[in-house]
Amino acid sequence: MSWDLRVYPDSQIARLPRPLRPLALVARNLVPSGSRAFRYAYRSVDLATSNRSPFLDDPAFEDAYRRVSDGWYDGDVDVRWRVWTLARLARTRRGLPAHAPGAFAEFGVYRGGCAFIILSTAELPASQRYFLFDTFSGVPDDRLEASERRMGIAGEWADTSAEAVAQRLAPWSGQIEIRPGDLFETLPATETGPLSFVHIDLNASAPTIAALEYAHPRMQPGAIVVFDDYGSPRYDEQRQRIDDFFADVPEDLVVLATGQAFAIKR
């Protein structure tokens, strides 16, 4: 039997005290190896399912994921269900509305992995612009809540650059618009126009709400907004702020087992 002794980021084992993790890793490896092991069609990080996992039969997605995954996360982390869900939701908005396709906007880009997979698989028309907002220098400390500072979020995701992302997305250079810098400075200086698809992955509550307040009034009817970390226990403050926002708008959030949530603009 091949044992998996990795501690995945944001997993239940990662949230245990360090002395308890070895026992939990042993248990994780022993339980699936019993009589129920055959039930899982896919198992990784926080998600295991016995249902069909369609990305396993999607060559275009698998190729795009393979091309970015090695340099995307530190360590061997399999997030295919999450990213496939994102890419398929994005694909539903390609070329829409037909008379004048709305732009895509991504808030929180890191190394451009999500954008690469979306652009590789969604078949967007060249006229559909793709805006990418990120500091490209990590999560700023000055607008974090005290609880977020205690979690050590400040400075995370700094090992990237706008230049590296531009290089990764070079095949779509005429379509993408990269906006480096603090959102509270770049948003007032940028006009995306009507939006058809929005992806928010900022890992902190204040910039998440700033992005949402910017994007929501620009979203066309039928436009989709996806939140990457909605279900993560690490980002409770962010989730509460998102819930507060949606309590005052007509849209409902749909929460997924991947940890994501999305809403469709009315």
Whether residue 8 is contained in a domain is answered as yes
Burial class (CB in 10 A: 0-12, 13-18, 19+), 135: buried
* Residues 142 and 24 placed together within one structural domain of the fold: no
Block residue for tokens 């990305």 = 55
Question: What domain range is 94 assigned to?
Answer: 54-264
Whether residue 165 is contained in a domain is answered as yes
Give the tokens for residue 20. 């308890």
CB 117, CB 226: distance < 8 Å: no
Whether residue 49 is contained in a domain is answered as no
Inter-axis angle of helices 113-121 and 59-69, nearest 10: 160
Structure confidence by residue, pLDDT tens digits, 41-79: 787 767 888 788 898 889 999 999 999 987 776 556 788
* Residues 129 and 229 placed together within one structural domain of the fold: yes
**What is the tally of structural domains in the chain?**
2
Whether residue 47 is contained in a domain is answered as no
Structure confidence by residue, pLDDT tens digits, 166-185: 999 999 999 999 999 999 99
Q: How many CB atoms lie within 10 A of CB 226?
A: 23
Whether residue 192 is contained in a domain is answered as yes
Residues with Cβ within 8 Å of residue 186, at least 6 apart in sequence: 133, 179, 180
Average pLDDT of every residue of the chain: 90
Structure confidence by residue, pLDDT tens digits, 131-173: 999 999 999 999 899 999 998 999 999 999 999 999 999 999 9
* Residues 68 and 178 placed together within one structural domain of the fold: yes
Tell me, what's the pLDDT at 206?
97
* Residues 141 and 106 placed together within one structural domain of the fold: yes
Whether residue 194 is contained in a domain is answered as yes
* Residues 12 and 101 placed together within one structural domain of the fold: no
* Residues 20 and 97 placed together within one structural domain of the fold: no
Tell me, yes or no, if the pTM score tops 0.75: yes
Q: What sign does the dihedral 152-11-259-68 (CA atoms) show?
A: positive
* Residues 144 and 239 placed together within one structural domain of the fold: yes
* Residues 70 and 22 placed together within one structural domain of the fold: no
